[in-house]
Amino acid sequence: MSKKNVGFVTLVTVTIAIIITLFYEFDLLGISPVVMMGVRWVTASVLTLNAIVRKNLTTWILTCLILGVFVGLDFPNLAIAMHPLSQGFIKLVKTIVGPILFATLVFGIAGHSDLKSVGRMAWKSMLYFFCATTCAIFIGLAVINITKAGVGVDIEHMPHEELPTTSAVAAADQKVLDHISENVHGVYKFNAFIRDTFPENIVKSVYENKVLQIVIFGVLFGIGLAMVSEKKRKPLVDFTESLAEAMFKFTNLVMLFAPIGVGAAMAYTVGHLGVDILKNLFMLLISLYIALIVFILLILFPIALYLKVPVKQFINAIKEPVSIAFATTSSDAALPKAMENMEKFGVPRKIVSFVIPTGYSFNLDGTSLYLSLASIFVAQAAGIDLSFGQQLLIAFTLMITSKGVAAVPRASLIVLIATADQFGLPTFVIAAILGIDELMDMARTSVNVIGNCLATVVVAKWEGEFDEEASKNPNFLEAESE
């Protein structure tokens, strides 16, 4: 069968399956669970055939994403048993992060020997990051105050799961905080955050996947290398260029495993949570998704239009890394593919290698929005009436404490717990969010990736170095990274 015919059959099958599912959910025709299982696996067969015919990695990833949902629904124990495959995929991707960040940063800085451009990129990136995350926070506050998702919540019947034992500060720092005045706690915590961005051992930073520490080391090393003579600089510059190219090829090989890793991640999510969790705390979940969509439509989309970014081509560039981020709930898993695709889209490597990794700590649009929304939800559920000023104070505190959590799945929940303690909000309400945190993490992590990919284009356009021809080429993803 041709691609066109298979595509038509797939569209018809999926449409019918959605209609039957709606009838089943609303109990309109008395459809049995056995029939629904049959509908799901007929749909799965058609989707698999479509993926085989199209021979496209993105199609396979999205297909396996849906197959994972079906496995989680119908075979939950098997789905949970598949979890090691998704863990293995994330571990494999993490081996890429350290070398690719170091190589691209050093080559981008030392290869051009233009230290002024690095400084310009830094302040322009930070300005954009601050504006984007601030908009995200205000949208989160607006949506939760409109939907009032937490008002009237029956706290007694919310799932009371054990909270992870954690602290927003290290044990050594906590001892210091216990012995100094509370009015300087904020200053100490901010300085501690700055301290923790500096690596004490680059191998340790790579092992622990401390993205910001790798960036700091790469930038300083690149600047130092740019300051030595051409004769001594060239061998290392050539080495980092070769390493970067090799790591991009390595990424392509690892991504062949992505459909299995993504499918297993989705199967595990549905298998151990169950779909009934969608009905529990439904308003909070919907509020978050509405807020994220509003952020994309009112902030990111207008920015793209203003800068005359080819939106369709941009979507093609980000759909693969975003689908990986959605399934794995880790921006880290999407980083190598996001960097590669944005370079092919027309953003210079030196900008991609600086903006995306830095954005993983400072441009968490989805996470910032979620934290502002979730903190007010907790207050609403507990019956605590917060003034607008108090809400802003909590939101901005959360934005500062959230730095550097993008690489770790569900780490934002830990930040939320620690900050709730600080403001006297009841943590047992946050415990109830654990049930749906994974579903929310999928969306906010995806928006983090979208925001950082767009940030590379913003900075490239601002610097006047964006390759317009590359972005308009319909086959740009098939081109080799230069």
For residue 278, the model assigns a pLDDT of 44
| Eight-class DSSP state of 299 | I
For residue 282, the model assigns a pLDDT of 73
Q: Which amino acid is at 302?
A: P
Q: pTM to 2 decimals?
A: 0.69
For residue 172, the model assigns a pLDDT of 83
Q: What is the C-alpha separation between 358 and 213, in angstroms, rounded?
A: 10
Question: pLDDT tens, 103-138?
Answer: 877 887 787 666 777 788 888 998 999 899 889 989
- The encoded tokens of residue 181 equal 């005045």
Question: pLDDT tens, 194-243?
Answer: 888 888 999 998 887 777 788 889 889 988 998 888 889 899 999 998 99
Q: Are 270 and 74 in contact (CB under 8 A)?
A: no
For residue 158, the model assigns a pLDDT of 47
Percent of the chain as helix, strand, coil, to the nearest 5: 80, 0, 20
| Eight-class DSSP state of 360 | H
Residue among 49, 43, 95 at smallest CA distance from 67 = 43
Q: What is the C-alpha separation between 410 and 391, in angstroms, rounded?
A: 23
The radius of gyration of the chain from alpha carbons, rounded to an integer in Å, stands at 23
Alpha carbon of 136 to those of 217, 273, 359, 365, 399: distances in Å? 30, 28, 14, 6, 10
For residue 102, the model assigns a pLDDT of 86
Q: What is the C-alpha separation between 160 and 163, in angstroms, rounded?
A: 9
Q: Are 243 and 99 in contact (CB under 8 A)?
A: yes
Q: Are 468 and 353 in contact (CB under 8 A)?
A: no
Dihedral sign computed on CA atoms, order 291, 292, 293, 299: positive
Q: What is the C-alpha separation between 281 and 260, in angstroms, rounded?
A: 30
Residue among 405, 75, 14, 83 at smallest CA distance from 262 = 83
Residues of the chain predicted below pLDDT 70: 1, 112-114, 153-169, 272-281, 398-415, 417-419, 421-422, 427-428, 431-438, 478-482
Q: Mutual orientation of helices 365-381 and 411-423 as an angle, nearest 10°?
A: 50
Nearby residues of 309 by Cβ (< 8 Å), 6 or more positions away? 454, 457, 461, 471
For every residue of 416-430, DSSP letters joined together read HHHHHHHHT--HHHH
Domain 56-472 part of CATH 3.40.50:
no
Alpha carbon of 350 to those of 65, 106, 163, 373, 456: distances in Å? 33, 9, 41, 35, 10
Q: What is the C-alpha separation between 274 and 376, in angstroms, rounded?
A: 26
For residue 163, the model assigns a pLDDT of 46
For residue 479, the model assigns a pLDDT of 60
SS3 assignment, position 141: helix
Q: What's the number of CA atoms in the CB half-sphere (13 Å) around residue 33?
A: 3
Q: How many CB atoms lie within 10 A of CB 320?
A: 22
- The encoded tokens of residue 28 equal 């309109």
- The encoded tokens of residue 83 equal 């979890």
Q: What is the C-alpha separation between 136 and 399, in angstroms, rounded?
A: 10
Domain ranges of the chain: 56-472
